[in-house]
Amino acid sequence: METTTCAPQGLWSISLDSGLAQIKSMGFNTIRLPFSNECLASKTLGSINYWVNPTLQGKTPLQVMDAVVARAKVYGLNVILDQHRPDSAAQSALWYTSAYPETKWLSDWAMLAKRYAAEPTVIGVDLHNEPHGTACWGCGVAATDWQAAATRGGNVVLAANPNLLVLVEGIDKQADGSATWWGGGLSGVATKPVKLTVGNRVVYSPHDYPSTVQAQTWFSAANYPANLPALWEKNWGYIATQKIAPVLLGEFGTKLVTASDKAWMSSIVTYLAAKGMSFAYWSFNPNSADTGGLVTDDWMTPQAAKLLALKPLIGAGIVVPVQPPPTPTPTPTPTVTPTPKPTVTPTPTPTQTPAPKPPVTPTPAPTPTPKPTVTPTPTPTPTPAPKPTITPAPTPKPTITPAPTPKP
């Protein structure tokens, strides 16, 4: 819901329920749902096949988000809302742009936190996807200090719903001069953690990728892939090891084709399993240019090799049937019962007895048979034809089909 269509990817091909059932079947329990601030304000969306998603027809993007949350609940899936970008057209280095300033970022987070405050399916918020470029950590420059902005944003969210988890990503250029993935550098947490007004709500959420996404220097090291665990520990793993806060690896993924990528995948799965860390895989949808997805281009066939590689983390999976969306029950139109017409009973014509004329005995005039009582047939009570079910206007990371995120 972060792209220009403002709709979850893939709904031009499959139903929302089909995608959610597939994600659950693979062994995931949470969806990281991307959105843009622009789409939250939009009244229109595109790229949805309403033949297979009739319940989404006529909905706004925000109402589609409601639908995703509601249907995720049916399948036992949690939802983390991910502000993937302010504008829907492209990724931004910072949490705001000229069109969508920080005030809008904060007010949208307050709105969403309040909107889902009574819905435990929504368990957390990812404040901004992949800060990079000029973004710094604790540098004191208000316009670019991501650590300070995350503190402001997190407190706004918790003021509306103190039960939410607040996911904070890292930056790419760290204070010690080292560079890493967009959103992946959290070494600054050691001295400058994010402190919110509600305790135990911060979850740090780095991203990590293989060499086919970007040829980082460590991939060409002589001791690759044995060098990876120490690198991860330095950048973000230490946060969990030292029990500073929980860590959820917010993105990792690969097309799993090259030997280097396969070595990276095996290493990171082993690392996550050993640490007991949470994670979100990028991505369910197959149209991510950098990584592909967990299904093939038909949006239905699982990528067996990837799921096998993830098995130490997600298990063997289960079969989850697709549940039909509920059909709203129309409110019946009240039956109109007409007042019955009164029964008209005519007064009988009186019998006329003529005076006798002697000696003639007249034959009495016949007594006329009274007119029959006219009882009109009651007007039948109309039984209104039931109104047709009008489905209000309107995959999955464990995610709902986000569009590919550009990588450095």
- Which are the catalytic amino acids? 130, 251
Tokens describing residue 110: 């307050």
Are 395 and 285 a contacting pair, CB within 8 Å? yes
Q: Are 185 and 178 in contact (CB under 8 A)?
A: yes
Distances (CA, A) of 356 to 273, 361, 367: 125, 6, 17
Contacts of 229 (CB under 8 A, 6+ apart): 237, 267, 271
Q: Do residues 21 and 321 lie in contact, with contact meaning Cβ atoms separated by under 8 Å?
A: yes
Residue 357, helix vs strand vs coil = strand
**Cα dihedral sign for 52, 53, 54, 55?**
positive
HEC sequence for 254-266: CCCCCHHHHHHHH
CB-based contact 92:406 (threshold 8 Å): no
